[in-house]
Structure 1
Amino acid sequence: MIARAEFLLRAEISEQTFDAWVAEGWICGGPDLSEAELARAALIRDLTERLGVNAEGVAVALALIDQIHGLRRALRQVSAALDRLPEPLRTEALAALRAAAEGRDGPAPG
């Protein structure tokens, strides 16, 4: 975890900017922040300073990134659940997923 003072230095932002980003809901405002929050702050700085994205655009970009992370987490959970299935069921489930991806209704032929 990163203390707030260190976070501000590493993120190269002021207290006021930090408080504004917390108020926007773009970063967490806890006393100890994570490396993920630091990476998020770097992204916000790139969007606003380098690319000139306005606040609404930053909010949209962050929401989409959060959705992507949620989908990746869900896929990891599905993959872990598939890995726990007995082999015949796992093979059948994977075939059904392939068929769905190809737009077919039934399991793929073996």
Structure 2
Amino acid sequence: MTRTLTEEQLIATVTHLTSTRLTEYLAAEIVIPEQTEKGPVYRTLDAARLELACELHDQYEMEPDALSMMISLIDQMHGLRAELREVLKAIEAQPEPVRQALIKVIGTARFGGK
């Protein structure tokens, strides 16, 4: 079961997060809380995203919309890394001649035959 946090718990947990900042980040859709009967709740992943947003905001004076775009790009990068790991697992499961052929094709595509 995923641990959830109330808004008060979230603000107490995330360094430099204030109610005003959270409102701005919600408007920029940096996080989208789950709506429950008791009100909005946040996942531990949301807390991590907000921690990163606060750090980027403080260090680089990034506005919420720019933060949203940056975090979206980071999410995409993590997704691509996960997909690449799956491709590598699939390649490793192939017989040696197939792996060698794939290495050659990938090397040619990546380095232009060098």
Answer yes or no: same fold by TM over 0.5. yes
* SS of equivalent residue, structure 2 residue 108: helix
Count of residues paired in the alignment: 104
Letter in structure 1 aligned against 2:5: A
Structure 2 contact 56–67 (Cα < 8 Å) conserved: yes
* SS of equivalent residue, structure 2 residue 102: helix
Structure 1 unaligned residues grouped into runs of 5+: none
| Alignment match, 2:13 | 10
% identity of equivalent residues: 22
Letter in structure 2 aligned against 1:61: M
Structure 2 unaligned residues grouped into runs of 5+: 35-40
Q: How does 1:53-72 map to 2 (within 5 A)?
A: 53-72=62-81
More strand, by proportion: 2
Q: Which of residues 21, 28, 33 in structure 2 aligns to 1:29?
A: 33
| Alignment match, 2:59 | 50
- Between the aligned partners of 2:42 and 2:66, the Cα distance in structure 1 is 27
| Partner deviation per Cα, 1:39-64 (whole Å, 9 max, x = no partner) | 21111101223321112321221222
Higher RCO (C-alpha 8 Å, min separation 6): 2
CA-based RMSD = 2.2
- Between the aligned partners of 1:69 and 1:76, the Cα distance in structure 2 is 11
Instruction: Quote how far apart the aligned CAs of 1:78 are.
Output: 0.9
Instruction: Quote how far apart the aligned CAs of 1:67 are.
Output: 2.0
Structure 2 contact 28–65 (Cα < 8 Å) conserved: no
* TM-score of the two chains, using structure 2 as the length reference: 0.73
